[in-house]
Structure 1
Amino acid sequence: MKKKTWIVIGVICLVIIMISVSVYRQVFAKGPSVKTAEIKQEEISSLLMVPGTVKLREEQIVYAAPDKGELKELLVEEGQEVTKGTVVAKLQNPQLDLEIEQNKLAIESANLKINQMDKKIKQLKDKEKSLADQVGKEEAKKQLAPELEQLEMEKKLANLDLKQTSLQKDMISKREAELEIKSTIDGVVLSAKKPDSTSLEGTMAEPVIHIGKLEEMTATGLLSEYDTLKVSSGQKVTVKSDAVPDQEWLGEITKIAVLPQQSQAGMQNGSQAVQYPVTVNILGDTKTLKPGFQVIMEIETEKRTAMVLPIDAVHDDGDKPYVFIVKDGKAGKQDVKTGITSGEKIEILDGIIKGDRVIINGPDNLKNGLEVTVK
């Protein structure tokens, strides 16, 4: 009797174990839960990210120029608004003052000499008339011809001297006009101060006057030789700054340099790496931007409709990009050919067909053939 009891108990335990194993397999032994997405057609664009620096679109910077003259007086102050043509400073040049006086004397001397020659020529012609009454017109002209030729030659030389001194006067007048420094733009005086001896001797002298338009800004950056083939003047740009994270500005490419700006390091190393300056005109309200701000210029280089997946779905171990597709409850590795990346989307050129369930945000242990549960 006891033997039968133990047999019954054993059978019951075995049944319980088998049921537990079945329940475990159904409840606890399921594969990891995964989220999937289908490939779909969307409009995407490729963005070129270019670091840049904010600059004033229009500005005038005046440095001390001892060869032109010393600063005599500043006629504006910082923060003052000026219009184009306003005299903002005056220079003085003692050497130029001396040249002006010498030129005046030279012109006066040449005019006196010409007047003197005119008087002598008149006197000689009067003499010729008197002599003609005595010896005849032809003979009188013949006798006085050498003297008349000499006077006319001296007059020509005096006229040449006058012409030369007049040309000198024009040149001096231009130099004298440069003693008045005028604003070349409508704007605001950003700085105005007389240079000291240390700033004149230094390699990086500060400007005497700096005028700019604060409401008009540009951003400048550098493009690689390959990137210059992707952009063109008039192309739209989005400008962002870490200093103003909650704001962005629209911009437009206004200039791409024809000649490259080779870096000093590249020149020293003998490398051929070159970069081309690009200028972007920032549109809209730029009051929160300041010259010198570092920005990122997002240039949309390509826009088209394409088949895309979330970028998290694509893996790349350095060989070929691939994805995992759910089929019959298992993850299957599938090589794909990718195109451009646009934000959180990536273009899929080959390897996926419509209807495939592609795993996104899969677990770290995801591998080919692993059983998975789709959320």
Structure 2
Amino acid sequence: MAKSRKKMFIMIGVALIVVLFVGAAAVKASQQKQDVGTLVKTATIEKQDIEAHILTSGEVVSMEKREVLPDVSAKIERILVKEGDQVEAGQELVKLASGDLDYQMKEAEIKLAMEKDNLQQLSKENYTEMEIALSNAEIQYRDAQTAYENNKKLYESGAVSKSELDTAKSNLDQNYNNYLLAKKNLENLKTGSEVTAQEKQVRLSELAMEKIGTELEKYIVKSPISGTVTNVDGVEGSLAAADVAIMKVVNTNSLEIVTNISEYDIHKVALGQQVKITGDAFEGKEYKGTVKYIDATAFSNETGQGKETVVKVKIEVIDKNTELKPGFSATTDILTERKKGALVIPYEAIYTKKNGEKVVFTIEKGKAKEHLVKTGIESELAVEVIANDLHEKDLVIMNPTEQLKDGDPVKENKVMKNDKN
């Protein structure tokens, strides 16, 4: 029993010695930590231009593409173009068999020519005759007037009888009436019913020819836009059905990129934003674009990583005569934000607390100083930091943890320069 107690006392003594030793070591380590401080890596707050971008991929499509549709069902007589041809709006692409419409047009042309000739002859001959008749009537009237004036003087001198004077007066009246009639006939000719009727015949022939021409136009299929011919499906000798495409015309100088933007990024995208366009099919080339359309609704898109909610966005290609072709895939780099002279730090310098507050720590007189901050533009590697008590060239602690507190002693281990955004 005595030996057991002695052994127990020895064990308790050893334990006390160990506790005292560990405690002393801990106190010493704590004192050393306070004297030296926690080793931390730092970065310098820099003032620089910063940009935010969204990278995405999409498909090149034509902003203007039209199907070439015949207005009537008829046999394809001749296809005037081939795939790849450049055509202008209104250019003839396909000629359809028009049946007897060509004969009807020739017949109408001949009839119109005849009606016009009849009108010309009618107007010319009658007008000439009436002009001559008026001229003769006027001469006879002037002669009768002169004869009457002479007889009147002779009668007053007693050289002629009253009967002879009356005869001269009657002749004057008759020639005057003839003159008035000839004048009226010429005036009536200018608005005469015969000429008017013939003019109407000419107009009717013109309308008939226009109607046939309108029908013939339906048998000549023209390009609705300027562009490149694609998808030629029609074959000469086969039947073309009304409203079924024979071919397509694509405007390759009016292109856009159709892409999908994540629901988490779409709020950053706005109309008019600048876009850089690159792609494997045109390696080494970079084209300019601009955001021209943002869909009003989102949809679920299936990807290799699963489903995601996205919004369709269209980017207009500004450059013309590019190597882009409809159907190509392209990478788009959308510039969403830009700021000059922003205070910039690495992402790793920001610590987000459980309550959502964001803070950074600087080093002041060997101690960590906490700063409540807001973040602005975010680039790929850096972020704009907004705080009244932060300045260019201040040192910020990288990768701060929950254990780091305001006022903790720290010692800079290595100065890290920010990566350019």
TM-score range relative to shorter protein: 0.5 to 0.7
Q: What is the rounded CA distance, in whole Å, between the counterparts of 2:246 and 2:339 in structure 1?
A: 45
2:193 is aligned with 1:153: yes
Superimposed CA distance per residue, residues 69-91 of structure 1 (whole angstroms, 9 cap, x where no aligned partner): 77543233334x44658753224
CA contact (8 A) 2:258 2:313 kept: no
List aligned pairs for 1:363-374, cutoff 5 A.
363=401, 365-366=402-403, 368=405
In structure 2, how many angstroms separate the alpha carbons of the residues matched to 1:226 and 1:13?
Answer: 62
Instruction: Tell me the equivalent position of 1:312.
Output: 348
Alignment of 1:237-248 (within 5 A): 237-240=275-278
Q: Is the 8 A contact 1:340 1:347 kept in 2?
A: yes
Larger Rg: 2
**Aligned partners of 1:77 and 1:189 also within 8 Å:** yes
How far, CA to CA, are the matches of 1:275 and 1:17 in structure 2?
A: 65
* Map of 1:45 onto structure 2: 51
Change (3 A) 1:248 1:125: closer
Counterpart of 2:192 in 1: which secondary structure?
helix
- How far apart in 2 are the matches of 1:302 and 1:98? 70
Identity of aligned residues (%): 17
The alpha-carbon distance between structure 1 residues 21 and 87, as it changes in their structure 2 partners (threshold 3 A), is same
Which runs of 5 or more structure 2 residues have no equivalent in the other structure?
1-5, 141-170, 300-310, 414-421
Amino acid at match of 1:296: T
Residue matched to 1:76: 81
Post-superposition offset of 1:42: 1.4
Does residue 346 of structure 1 match 2:352? no
| Alpha-carbon displacement from aligned partner over 1:94-117 (angstroms, at most 9, x marks no partner) | 586476356425514532541563
Residue pairs, 1:58-69, within 5 angstroms: 61-66=66-71
After superposition, give the CA deviation of every residue in 1:152-192 in whole Å (9 maximum; x if it has no partner).
3321342354356547756865775672536965x653321
Structure 2 counterpart of 1:88: 93
Q: Could you tell me the TM-score, scaled by structure 2's length?
A: 0.57
Residue 125 to residue 246, structure 1, CA distance change in 2 (3 Å): closer
The 3 A distance-change label for structure 1 pair 52 and 17 is closer
Contact 1:331 1:372 in 2 (8 A): yes
Counterpart-to-counterpart distance in 2, 1:31 and 1:95: 104
Which of these residues, 35, 42, 46, is aligned with residue 41 of structure 2? 35
Q: Does the CA contact (< 8 Å) of 2:360 and 2:373 recur in 1?
A: yes
| 1:122-201 alignment runs, 5 A limit | 125=130, 128=133, 136=175, 138-139=177-178, 142=181, 145=184, 149=188, 152-163=192-203, 165-166=205-206, 169=209, 179=220, 181=222, 185=226, 188-194=228-234
- Tell me by how many angstroms 1:237 deviates: 2.7
State the Cα RMSD in Å.
Answer: 5.6
**Aligned with residue 54 of structure 1, among 43, 60, 73:** 60
**Could you tell me whether the CA contact under 8 Å between 1:240 and 1:249 is conserved in 2?**
yes
Q: Partner residue of 1:336?
A: 373
Distance 2:208 2:297 in 1: 44
Equivalent residue for 2:247? 208
2:122 counterpart residue number: 117
Q: Could you tell me how far apart the structure 1 residues matched to 2:208 and 2:32 are?
A: 104
**Separation of aligned partners in 1, 2:109 and 2:321:** 55
What's the CA shift string for 1:302-354, capped at 9, x where partnerless?
34122111123234567443224456777654211332223322112215534
- Cα gap change, 1:182 to 1:320, in 2 (>3 Å): same
Match of 1:299 in 2: 335
| Aligned position for 1:269 | none
Q: CA deviation at 1:193?
A: 1.5
The CA deviation at 1:149 is: 2.9
Give aligned pairs, total.
345
Structure 1 stretch displaced more, 113-122 or 154-163: 113-122
Contact preservation (8 Å) 1:128, 1:141: no
Which moved further from structure 2: 87-96 or 302-311?
Answer: 87-96
- Matched position secondary structure for 1:65: coil
1:115-135 C-alpha deviation (Å, 9 max, x unpaired): 563477269649958996897
Structure 1 residues 358 and 197: CA distance shift in structure 2, 3 A: farther
Alignment match, 2:399: 361
Retained in 2: the 8 A contact 1:321–1:336? yes
TM-score with structure 1 length normalisation? 0.62
Distance 1:245 1:118 in 2: 72
2:78 partner amino acid: E
**Alignment partner for residue 250 of structure 1, among 287, 298, 301?**
287
Q: Is the 8 A contact 1:39 1:307 kept in 2?
A: yes
